[in-house]
Structure 1
């Protein structure tokens, strides 16, 4: 059986498909509406997670558009119908992609919403390009320094995260696992991390089929793994050490941290630890959800996102740039009950 064509992710629906060039790459993006009616609205850029594509934001595209925002979901570099270059899956370049997308879409700033790997891109872009990011929301995506800390030093996060992460470093073997038997690994991955209520729905069945097909598009399996391979290799190289050093700065923008209460992959502790690097962080646990809260409980997630978008933008004096000069705590700590 031949591999799916990249155009198969251009699914019909209440949206239109765009090709946007940014940072030397062509990106496939999707938004609701004819375009000219939404260009003046505040931009919300939606960045998907590992093994998925823009379609994972289907519930948010319409809800955010109906609320008066220009919601744009993107196939990240290496996914779906976006370009799949052999390089550029490092934190620096991915942040540059997002910065370029905001500009190419005709905006000077945006709110970023990301799940898993897409959330890590949100953290990186807000830190490295703070002037173009108004707010961020991350779903099952801890701050990269918090994730590194807990994956090494806390048994619960280490046991859930490291085995899959380390296996994905293996060349060819990991790619073959993703695509063989019609993308069966993606079905197992979604089933293992999703909550029970979503697994019983037709929406989940459709998600399995869509993502199993999308992972088999040529070069997607390799590209999707390069995100995690750079995260591992960079720990031992000067560029990665410098990247983590730059990420050790505090954000002053409204930040929303979301986690499915039944997520078996990302712990509540590591998500709450983001307060060390974001002084306006609100953490919310989504009941009845596993790792994919935006798909499993879209109404609850959409309500939380609209609350973030309505939050005031006032910043402390002198906080137009990320904090410099004051040393942040290296080890994240518990920060008490969730704020709401």
Structure 2
């Protein structure tokens, strides 16, 4: 049976909406009233990765908005626009299109990389940031050069640089997504379940999603030999004066906890760092209760 984007509009207490922003149409799921908390997923997932946190964030008096990043889920899949510059502009214009002047921005994995970049690239709209399973981009870059373990964990990025092959693998069957979910999650937990694999593998097999997802990572590779990569690394070398939450699983198979410390040196504002013992890369789903509590407690400290 062929799937379409409607398959990711999963029922729940949230409301599904489509908003025009930055020249594209984005799907969001939102729940609650109050100041906005924008939630961005990672690879190979979509907005649904935040489902466990949305109700608690809303119950705590916030407006939880989980978006599908450009190219994922039910958001548009344009042929270009997959740089971090564009991703931060996407997030900023989604916030504005939903009627807010600013928001707290949280991201997991790839979404965390974007969240770290928001205070520099979109400072006027970013009140605070949270990153799960992703250190500051300069820390990640340094670890990718200096740590053998992190270079080994980064092999998926190199795989995604190849034309056509990753897209075909993701669309062919569930094995590509299942391999990433299992390799990056904790070996001590029960994630992913067969239902998790099916949910995310089917979403990655939607038309154009696999190519779009790969393009985010191809920008990381291409930009290093062009002007935009070194310029990005210089621009984010300053201090973040907004509050920052940083959560990291000790058993992360994608971002090696022991090789990626040091993000605090880029934060002059309040910095909250917490390691989630026994959890892997997919923190919102592998350890939903601990992660939700950490986020809600931190949100209570952010000035509204």
Residue-by-residue CA offset, 1:8-51 (whole Å, 9 max, x unaligned):
10111111100011111100000125xxxx2xx01000000011
Question: Can you list the C-alpha shifts for 1:123-148, whole angstroms capped at 9, x where unaligned?
Answer: 12221111211111101112111111
Consecutive unaligned residues in structure 2, runs of 5 or more: none
SS in 2 for 1:244: helix
Q: Which has the larger radius of gyration?
A: 1
Match of 2:134, SS state, is coil
Answer whether contact 1:251 1:278 (CA < 8 A) is retained: yes
Report if the CA contact (8 A) 1:274-1:281 is conserved. Answer: no
Measured in 2, the distance between the counterparts of 1:153 and 1:261 equals: 19
Q: Is the Cα–Cα contact under 8 Å of residues 115 and 139 in structure 1 kept in the other structure?
A: yes
Q: Show the 5 A alignment for 1:296-315.
A: 296-313=286-303
1:317 — aligned with what? none
Contact 2:41 2:47 (C-alpha < 8 Å) held by counterparts: yes
Q: Which residue of 1 aligns with 2:181?
A: 190
CA deviation after TM superposition for structure 1 residue 268, in Å: 2.1
Displacement of 1:290:
0.9
- The whole-number CA distance in structure 2 between the counterparts of 1:51 and 1:307 is 28
CA distance in 2, matches of 1:103, 1:197: 41
In 1, the alpha carbon distance for the partners of 2:193 and 2:35 equals 31
3-state SS of paired residue (1:11): coil
Q: Which residue of 2 aligns with 1:260?
A: 249
Establish whether residue 286 from structure 1 lines up as the match of residue 283 from structure 2: no
TM-score by length of 1: 0.85
Q: Secondary structure at the match of 2:241?
A: coil
Moved more, 210-219 or 121-130: 121-130
**Which position in structure 1 is the counterpart of 2:76?**
83
Tell me, in whole angstroms, the C-alpha distance in 2 between the residues paired with 1:306 and 1:15.
18
Aligned equivalents of 1:171, 1:237: Cα separation in 2 = 19
Q: Partner of 2:11 in structure 1?
A: 12
The Cα shift of 1:156 comes to 2.0
Distance 1:49 1:186 in 2: 13
Q: Select which of 188, 210, 224 maps to 1:221.
A: 210
SS at match of 2:294: helix
Distance 2:152 2:251 in 1: 16
* Matches for 1:141-160 after TM superposition, within 5 Å: 141-160=134-153
* 66 and 204 in structure 1: CA distance in 2 versus 1, 3 angstrom threshold: farther
Matches within 5 A, 1:157-168: 157-161=150-154, 163-168=155-160
Residue 197 of structure 1, CA deviation:
5.0
Aligned to 1:242: 231
Q: Is the 8 A contact 1:198 1:204 kept in 2?
A: no
Question: Deviation of residue 154 (structure 1)?
Answer: 1.6
Match status 1:134 vs 2:127: yes
- What displacement does 1:193 show? 1.5
Over residues 25-81 of structure 1, what are the superposed CA-to-partner deviations in whole Å (9 max), with x where a residue is unaligned?
100000125xxxx2xx01000000011111000001111011111001001000011
Q: Which runs of 4+ in 1 moved over 6 A?
A: none
Partner of residue 172, structure 2: 180
Describe the SS at the equivalent of 1:208: helix
When residues 228 and 265 of structure 1 are mapped into structure 2, their CA distance, relative to the original with a 3 A threshold, is same
Tell me, which stretches of 5 or more residues in structure 1 are unaligned? 315-340
Q: Contact between 1:259 and 1:271, CA under 8 Å: does it hold in 2?
A: no
Give the superposed CA RMSD. 1.6
SS at match of 2:261: helix
Per-residue deviation, 1:311 = 1.6
Question: How many aligned positions are there?
Answer: 303
CA distance in 2, matches of 1:198, 1:81: 30
| 8 Å Cα contact 1:261/1:288 also seen in 2 | yes
1:270 Cα deviation after fit = 4.7
Partners of 1:303 and 1:172 in 2: CA distance: 41
